[in-house]
Amino acid sequence: MIVFDLGCDNAHRFEGWFASTAEFERQREGKLLSCPLCGSSSINRLVTAARVNTGRSGQQQEAAAGETPQQYANFDAARLLKLITHIVENTEDVGSAFPEEARKIHYRESPERHIRGSASADEVEALREEGIDVVALPLPPHLAGKPH
């Protein structure tokens, strides 16, 4: 698994996890990636500092240098993965029907429940304009399509 620092055209920074550089490029070119903060699908890799392997783990190096370990949304990578796994295990995957199902729940046309799925940046924006809270999450490939 490769972790890339990514950014959108609204200057939001976030991480993405990919099987390979080619997989990142395929998803980026296919507009399959979106910013977890604003939903923008204009995503680019950001320049990251190179790491030198000194035989110590990354946390040992950072602790030795007196630095705080790198975090994403106040979570380190292990905590973020645990949170995303919890969300996947406790939500219903409605796939591409997400915008429609979110509206039905919001307008009480369907029973309230926790759902996840996919939506385009335009669909996310439309939901937010209707007052429907939507959060985009980076979903590692091994969790994608996992039933609740």
Going by the DSSP 8-state scheme, the letter that residue 109 receives in this structure is S
Mean pLDDT of 100-114: 93
Measure the CA–CA gap between 130 and 124, rounded to whole angstroms. Answer: 10
pLDDT at res. 74: 53
Q: What is the pTM of this model?
A: 0.48
CB 140 within 8 Å of CB 87: no
- Domain locations along the chain: 2-73, 91-140
98's enclosing H/E stretch is: helix 98-106
Identify the band that residue 37 occupies on the pLDDT scale cut at 50, 70 and 90.
confident
pLDDT at res. 64: 47
Question: Which residue matches tokens 């940046």?
Answer: 121
Residue 67 CA, distance from chain mean position:
25
